[in-house]
Structure 1
Amino acid sequence: MPPPPPPPPPFPSLDAFYLHLLRACTSLRHAAAVHAHIARAHPAASLFLRNTLLAAYCRLGGPLPARRLLDEMPRRNAVSFNLLIDAYSREGLAPLSLETLARARRAGVGVDRFSYAAALAACSRAGHLRAGRAVHALAVLDGLSSGVFVSNSLVSMYSKCGEMGEARRVFDVAEERDDVSWNSLVSGYVRAGAREEMVRVFAMMRRGGMGLNSFALGSVIKCCSGRGDGTMDIAEAVHGCVIKAGLDSDVFLVSAMIDMYAKKGALVEAAALFRSVQEPNVVMFNTMIAGFCRTETVIGKEVASEALTLYSEVQSRGMQPTEFTFSSVLRACNLAGYLEFGKQIHGQVIKYTFQEDDFIGSVLIDLYFNSGCMEDGFRCFRSSPKHDIVTWTAMVSGCVQNELHEKALSLFHESLGAGLKPDLFTISSVMNACASLAVARAGEQIQCFATKSGFDRFTVMGNSCVHMYARSGDVDAATRRFQEMESHDVVSWSAVISCHAQHGCARDALHFFDEMVDAKVVPNEITFLGVLTACSHGGLVDEGLRYYETMNKDYGLSPTIKHCTCVVDLLGRAGRLADAEAFISNSIFHADPVIWRSLLASCRIHRDLERGQLVANRIMELEPTSSASYVILYNMYLDAGELSLASKTRDLMKQRGVKKEPGLSWIELKCGVHSFVAGDKSHPESSAIYTKLEEMLSRIEKLATTDTEISKREQNLMNCHSEKLAVALGMIHLPQSAPIRVMKNLRVCRDCHSTMKLISKSENREIILRDPIRFHHFRDGSCSCADYW
């Protein structure tokens, strides 16, 4: 006879059946359906089953139905409350989590270590230090604080709330420690930036024989990634620990170490570590490519080529590039000026459908704007489906960089209209646009916006305000804003020094430099440029030469072409033309036309026609198409009465196709910014402007003198130069007490300079005129430049 069939498997118990169903639930709706079935079929369900249902609600993100279920349960234990405490904690509802803990203690169900761990986690996530201390006190009362599980939670809570002293005390008095204890303390010191304490704890951990894992080593590596002094030895020691622990093949740790070496500028070590990995993944490639593009690293063609080579290797290995791959390699193209490579990468971005990534979009905008391809940059911006503040900031800063300042302001207003909240970098870029346009009223509005947004406390914002007011001609406002700043960096000091230098306040500029040195702030090249400019404009020859020597001798700064040009200008102002020429001849910049042009301007001022002709010929050999040298030479001949030579110079410009940049002046009034060119009659108030100008010129006619025989036609042209038209408009609209601030893109001519002095006296008005070289403050018939500019 055949053997009897095996008995059927036993029917699963009720709890096991529902447990299977609840584990399969993927939404709150499914859990609610199972709950309804249990309530109808088994109203006297066990505590285990009810806790299982409670766990399902908590797992699926439903603390509210879980709370209702807990309230309805006829019996509850510590597990019931722990589930809800943890659910509130994970949802970021710390007050409700702590309330549930208190409720459990009142219910007398016997709260355990899991209850306190969940409550402390809620305090950690919310940063509620005071509540965390209260939970700590309750754990002590219940005799649970010394256990390793709760003590680890306390260390984590205190470290995440920034109280490393408390975290260390809990760690030290703990009766028992495990790997989690040490890792929590190490990561806490890393988070607090306490590198030395982190190293000590890590050394104690090693001496105590604790095993190293990727979490602990990853925290230490992160701390070593800064550029602080002395961290290279620590980084290499940690690298050795990774190898000894047999974790040198861990993808996470290797990527972290590559990033660590790259951030410290040790690209050779980073590359060697990268090449030691047999099968690097795309994360390692991304880390290495990004390492070549650090701002701390000196980016050159060779470094950028390495980044592009790595990207090619990613493709040859058949790996799928990520958004981080593209953003890093595009940054390499941007920093090295590889526009064509960047365009090819842009095509790859479109191929892999990453064109909607905001960060990649902003890097592409930077690439095109930095290369002067404005239309391509605008096209990238318009094609992006969504614009965040990073993209808008890239657009604004790109416009400022390419001197599209009015467009930058327009984009800023558009971003506000789109409901976006500008960040610090956006506002700083807009302030730079206001500074370049010298529109103080718009700059004041941006400053008010920054104050309301809480950005005014940042040093970079204060620096932008100082620069804006200085460029707008308000040296007093720039000084006040500097004094209101809580902290000053080298940019702050350089800005206020340059401000006073450009406005002819030489002694004030040097006073600020002395204060900077007393404040232990190390000056840089920009600082010394401001100091030398101040000495030049103030006629302080000996001081200027001393500062020039100090620059290299005491601070190790190599003079640039701008510093040397200031020295030439310094000597030239004092009439030491031969010394200035000798300085140029002995300089490494003797072949640069800029430095010779400064000497040519001095020759014109001191009427050294012979030397001026030789210098002009030298400049025209070096730079035959620059109009500035021809204009200076033409004016020098005109001042000397050599009209025929002046005419020949003008003819030479025509023969060589050299065109003088048209002069443009502008003034800011309540109704906006008004710009003029010579003889401009396009302004709506043109008739009133010319009438006012004629009135002012007629009043100063008796005071004016003419040194050269200028034709009637040329005199008429000078009388309608752009700066004179702007001043006339200011006279019409501005009150008597308000200074008239006019900006010009070219140097002011001698006739306009003399006219402004006379107008300031006859009209009893202060006129501030900015040209590319400096500010001219006209008061009572004199100018701050002492007629040398």
Structure 2
Amino acid sequence: MLCCSHKYLIGLSERVSFSKPFKHFTAFPQALSETHHISLQPPLAPSMDAFFAELLQSSTNFQSLTHGKGVHAQIIKARFTPCLFLVNNLLNMYCKCGDLASAHQLFDCMRTRNAVSWNSLISGYSQMGLFDDALNVFIEARNAQTKIDKFTYASALSVCSRRVDLNVGKVIHGLVVVGGFSQQVFLINSLIDMYSKCGDIGQAKRLFDASDELDDVSWNSLISGYVRVGNVEETLRVFSRMHSYGIKLNSFALGSILKSCSEHDDVKYFGEMIHGCVVKVGLDSDDFIGSGMIDLYAKNGVLHEAIKFFKAMPSPNVVVFNAMIAGFSRLETKIGSGLSKEALLLFSVMQRRGMRPSKFTFSSVIRACSLVNGFEFGKQIQGQLFKYNFQSDEYIGSALIDLYSNSGSIEEGLRCFHSVPEQDIVTWTSMISGCVQNEQFEKALSLFHELLCKGRKPDLFTLSSVMSACANLTVARTGEQIQCFATKAGFDQFTIIGNSRIYMYARAGDVDAATKTFSEMESRDAISWSAVISSHAQHGCARDALMLFEEMEDRRVAPNEITFLAVLTACSHGGLVDEGFRYFESMKIDYNLGPSVKHCSCIVDLLGRAGRLADAEDFILDTGFDTDPVIWRSLLASCRVHGDIERGRRVAERVMELEPTASSSYVLLYNMYLDTGKLSLAMKTRDLMKERGVKKEPGLSWIEIGAQVHSFVVGDKSHPQSSAIYAKLEEMLSKIEKMGYTNTTRVSLMNCHSEKLAVVLGMILLPQLAPIRVMKNLRVCRDCHTAMKLFSETETREIVLRDPIRFHRFRGGSCSCGDYW
């Protein structure tokens, strides 16, 4: 409580006409430096220093910049000469209230400064995310030969932690040693925290082991470091040592352990063990621990335990409600069952109890809306943000961007993104990921470039999304540049970056680089294995893909739905019917994973390629996915391969009934008739497309050479080197015709299909030993497939051609698909 005189002075500062005082205030550096010099001499009225200091402390505590400025105005108006202690309080107030311009103005006019002055300014810049400015102030403090203290070094190390700058952190570590602070447990803790957050957990552990004096913060910092890098076993080992050494367990340590255990496979065992510790130390009613226990159980599907713990809480606060809401939303992505609706109901309970939602509440609820396609409900929730003044929050902005992205409203997402005044890296990442999710890959790269131009530091999730955009655009050179950026930033050791690299190289057609990346990764998860298995499957290396899957099982890494999709794709592309059915049954029985329409489509494709079209049709009718056009289209493609016109016609009618505007079904039927010489039926199919307004997607092929992407359509003559391309193509066709090649169709444009033009440009511009990698948006035709095999032999070149289904790797006159495609 403020005394009456304090209230009077604050009231006076609010009531006074600020036109003159604040005119004076805006020029306060000159006033303080010339008229009211800061002095270390004892003030005339010592009680005034304490009086103004208490007022400034109140302004700082309540983050009231208006009151703080009012106190400053009164100091100037009273012509009072403040001591250094009071000026430091004033400086701290400006820093804590976020007015860094005024803080630096005040700092510059101070003739005498101590470590507290420098620490306040460093902390202020760090608090606002201006890490470069914070480090510059630290450098100035050293250059000014100020006797800086342990808090100065700790602030600088905190900046390195937040910007994940290991190199600068090591330099400051050296300065700590030189300054004689290396044995102070306070700084040891800061160093352990810095190394942990920068990914060098080994150095953090070495510091910990070498220190003679440790406290509970030291143990908690090391535990948090292992939690951050996902090393569950080491986390539990350190926790066990901490317990055996008699270190008192607190909510922070137990909270970190709970977070770590939530990532462990044997969550039930470890959850019960930690649960016992929680009860033993009497923290079972602690809201922080309660939210951690709920998060532990909910994250791993033990929903009944999470609900039981939630109901046992005597008076759950907003944090506990948030954990339960987030738990329902998280489980929705794993097991479905409408759990996100339960999250929305729990939000209603909060409102009925009159609880004030936090930004994390709104974020979880908006994400729940995304999962249940509750777009309209999400927009209603967005309306409540204005009631609680959260409309400009970056965290909620990210959730809204995800909501709009999931609903396909990328323009609304961009509008939301630009409406957030202070876009943090999470907001940028959400927007870039949303663009990737909606296949706006060029926009994703454009946003990433804008992010770098603004001087912001991308995190590993940003880089992962951008590498995914490069993978889908198959711009390997750009992707490699981003990979170099990730390595320079120290992110290359993270599993998510390794996974993105595997995917990027695989999509670019470089299966060797994808395999090498996988083998060099220190930590692999199910996504890593799935990506490298899928890479081999798409490149026609079916046996290699299955060997990798068996190795994955031997290492006790649990496969997921994506893994089995990659395995079934390998079986399909390799013609391994028996193996395919064996893995399909294993997925259901051994791993309790329900097959999706994509898994079933792989089995249909597997049977269809093997010529068992009747079995494939019966399988579709038994799956329960007989209303999905994707699975029928897979059978239609097989009917074309085997020339089963009658079944193909019947299947095509079914697909057109389910998806009347999809051009691919008409094109498959048209080509089937054309392949079997049924020209009149082919023309009728084309007329049907015109009648229904269905337009065929134009064939497009592209190749990346240097920093430029060259694209072609059939018969394209717009390229600057068009004359050289057609001359080289004529020369190459002449060579393969002598080897017996003839155009297998009646269409003369086959000789200038887009993939042929792109490959020829690669022949002209790329070195002899460089593989030619061409991407195509439609499936490669038989004629081009035959021509590519012969081109690879006559030109002694490796050609990699990617279509929407798979990769074809042509070397020495043969293709990796073994002509089984």
Q: Which TM-score band applies after superposition, normalised by the shorter structure?
A: 0.7 to 0.9
Equivalent residue number for residue 682 of structure 2: 646
What SS does the corresponding residue of 2:268 show, helix, strand or coil? coil
1:747 has 2:782 as partner: no
What SS does the corresponding residue of 1:776 show, helix, strand or coil? strand
Q: For the Cα contact (< 8 Å) 2:392–2:420, is it kept in 1?
A: yes
Q: For the Cα contact (< 8 Å) 1:327–1:363, is it kept in 2?
A: yes
Picking from 263, 269, 274, the partner of 1:230 is 269
CA separation of 1:631 and 1:255: change in aligned 2, threshold 3 A: closer
What SS does the corresponding residue of 1:294 show, helix, strand or coil? helix
CA separation of 1:436 and 1:609: change in aligned 2, threshold 3 A: same
Rounded to whole Å, the distance in 1 between the matches of 2:796 and 2:153 is 72
In the alignment, residue 413 of structure 1 is paired with which amino acid?
H
What SS does the corresponding residue of 1:293 show, helix, strand or coil? helix
1:787 Cα deviation after fit:
3.0
1:473 has 2:509 as partner: yes
What SS does the corresponding residue of 1:473 show, helix, strand or coil? coil
Equivalent residue number for residue 742 of structure 2: 705
1:731 has 2:763 as partner: yes
Equivalent residue number for residue 216 of structure 2: 156
Rounded to whole Å, the distance in 2 between the matches of 1:601 and 1:422 is 43
In the alignment, residue 290 of structure 1 is paired with which amino acid?
A
Rounded to whole Å, the distance in 2 between the matches of 1:383 and 1:305 is 28
Q: For the Cα contact (< 8 Å) 1:98–1:119, is it kept in 2?
A: no
Equivalent residue number for residue 113 of structure 1: none
Equivalent residue number for residue 322 of structure 1: 358
1:283 Cα deviation after fit:
4.5
1:379 Cα deviation after fit:
1.0
CA separation of 1:529 and 1:321: change in aligned 2, threshold 3 A: closer
Equivalent residue number for residue 418 of structure 1: 454
In the alignment, residue 718 of structure 1 is paired with which amino acid?
M
In the alignment, residue 382 of structure 2 is paired with which amino acid?
H
Q: For the Cα contact (< 8 Å) 1:21–1:34, is it kept in 2?
A: no
Rounded to whole Å, the distance in 2 between the matches of 1:603 and 1:129 is 62
Q: Tell which deviates more after alignment, 368-377 or 743-752.
A: 743-752
Picking from 401, 409, 420, the partner of 1:373 is 409
1:400 Cα deviation after fit:
1.0
Picking from 352, 371, 374, the partner of 1:338 is 374
Query: Deviations along 1:546-598, whole A, 9 cap, x unmatched?
Result: 33344334444333333333233333333333443444344443443333333
TM-score of the aligned structures, taking structure 2 as reference length? 0.70
Equivalent residue number for residue 799 of structure 2: 767
CA separation of 1:224 and 1:604: change in aligned 2, threshold 3 A: closer
Q: For the Cα contact (< 8 Å) 1:120–1:132, is it kept in 2?
A: no
1:197-216 alignment to 2 at 5 Å? Answer: 197=240, 216=250
Equivalent residue number for residue 520 of structure 2: 484
CA RMSD for the aligned pairs?
Answer: 4.4
Q: For the Cα contact (< 8 Å) 2:537–2:573, is it kept in 1?
A: yes
Equivalent residue number for residue 817 of structure 2: 785
Query: Deviations along 1:474-499, whole A, 9 cap, x unmatched?
Result: 12222222222223322222222221
Rounded to whole Å, the distance in 2 between the matches of 1:553 and 1:34 is 72
Equivalent residue number for residue 752 of structure 2: 720
Unaligned runs of 5+ in 1: 1-14, 36-56, 65-83, 103-117, 137-152, 165-188, 206-211
Equivalent residue number for residue 173 of structure 1: none
**Count of residue pairs the alignment pairs up:** 663
What SS does the corresponding residue of 2:741 show, helix, strand or coil? coil
Q: For the Cα contact (< 8 Å) 1:190–1:222, is it kept in 2?
A: no
In the alignment, residue 705 of structure 1 is paired with which amino acid?
T
1:221-260 alignment to 2 at 5 Å? Answer: 223-224=257-258, 226-227=261-262, 228-234=267-273
In the alignment, residue 529 of structure 2 is paired with which amino acid?
W
In the alignment, residue 435 of structure 1 is paired with which amino acid?
A
Rounded to whole Å, the distance in 2 between the matches of 1:542 and 1:507 is 13
Rounded to whole Å, the distance in 1 between the matches of 2:342 and 2:580 is 44
Q: Radius of gyration: which is bigger?
A: 1
In the alignment, residue 803 of structure 2 is paired with which amino acid?
D
CA separation of 1:333 and 1:299: change in aligned 2, threshold 3 A: farther
1:571 has 2:607 as partner: yes
Percent of aligned pairs sharing the same letter? 59
1:509 has 2:545 as partner: yes
What SS does the corresponding residue of 2:486 show, helix, strand or coil? helix
Equivalent residue number for residue 583 of structure 2: 547
Q: For the Cα contact (< 8 Å) 1:459–1:488, is it kept in 2?
A: yes
Rounded to whole Å, the distance in 2 between the matches of 1:721 and 1:354 is 55
Rounded to whole Å, the distance in 2 between the matches of 1:628 and 1:132 is 62
CA separation of 1:304 and 1:195: change in aligned 2, threshold 3 A: farther
Q: For the Cα contact (< 8 Å) 1:533–1:566, is it kept in 2?
A: yes
Q: Tell which deviates more after alignment, 601-610 or 93-102.
A: 93-102
1:780 Cα deviation after fit:
3.9
1:632 Cα deviation after fit:
1.7
Rounded to whole Å, the distance in 2 between the matches of 1:570 and 1:447 is 36
Rounded to whole Å, the distance in 2 between the matches of 1:596 and 1:86 is 69
Query: Deviations along 1:439-473, whole A, 9 cap, x unmatched?
Result: 21112212222221222222222221111111111
Rounded to whole Å, the distance in 2 between the matches of 1:381 and 1:545 is 47
1:670 Cα deviation after fit:
1.2
1:588-627 alignment to 2 at 5 Å? Answer: 588-627=624-663
Query: Deviations along 1:738-774, whole A, 9 cap, x unmatched?
Result: 2221111111122322333343344343322110111
1:499 has 2:538 as partner: no
Rounded to whole Å, the distance in 2 between the matches of 1:99 and 1:476 is 47
1:387-402 alignment to 2 at 5 Å? Answer: 387-402=423-438
1:523 Cα deviation after fit:
2.8
In the alignment, residue 498 of structure 1 is paired with which amino acid?
S
Equivalent residue number for residue 109 of structure 1: none
Q: For the Cα contact (< 8 Å) 2:501–2:514, is it kept in 1?
A: yes
Rounded to whole Å, the distance in 1 between the matches of 2:186 and 2:51 is 28
Picking from 667, 670, 674, the partner of 2:706 is 670
Rounded to whole Å, the distance in 2 between the matches of 1:134 and 1:457 is 25
Q: For the Cα contact (< 8 Å) 1:89–1:119, is it kept in 2?
A: no
What SS does the corresponding residue of 1:624 show, helix, strand or coil? coil
In the alignment, residue 230 of structure 1 is paired with which amino acid?
Y
Unaligned runs of 5+ in 2: 1-41, 58-80, 88-112, 121-147, 158-172, 193-203, 225-231
In the alignment, residue 229 of structure 1 is paired with which amino acid?
K
Equivalent residue number for residue 694 of structure 2: 658
Q: Tell which deviates more after alignment, 310-319 or 772-781.
A: 310-319
In the alignment, residue 559 of structure 2 is paired with which amino acid?
P
1:425 Cα deviation after fit:
0.9
1:613 Cα deviation after fit:
3.0
Rounded to whole Å, the distance in 1 between the matches of 2:337 and 2:588 is 29
Rounded to whole Å, the distance in 2 between the matches of 1:452 and 1:130 is 24
CA separation of 1:735 and 1:317: change in aligned 2, threshold 3 A: same
Equivalent residue number for residue 98 of structure 2: none
Rounded to whole Å, the distance in 2 between the matches of 1:742 and 1:391 is 34
Q: For the Cα contact (< 8 Å) 2:778–2:804, is it kept in 1?
A: yes
Q: For the Cα contact (< 8 Å) 1:628–1:660, is it kept in 2?
A: yes
Q: For the Cα contact (< 8 Å) 2:299–2:331, is it kept in 1?
A: no
CA separation of 1:324 and 1:706: change in aligned 2, threshold 3 A: closer
CA separation of 1:481 and 1:300: change in aligned 2, threshold 3 A: closer
Q: For the Cα contact (< 8 Å) 2:775–2:802, is it kept in 1?
A: yes
Q: For the Cα contact (< 8 Å) 2:425–2:457, is it kept in 1?
A: yes
Equivalent residue number for residue 383 of structure 2: 347
In the alignment, residue 579 of structure 2 is paired with which amino acid?
E
What SS does the corresponding residue of 1:229 show, helix, strand or coil? helix
Q: Tell which deviates more after alignment, 377-386 or 620-629.
A: 620-629
Q: For the Cα contact (< 8 Å) 2:542–2:574, is it kept in 1?
A: yes
Q: For the Cα contact (< 8 Å) 2:471–2:479, is it kept in 1?
A: yes
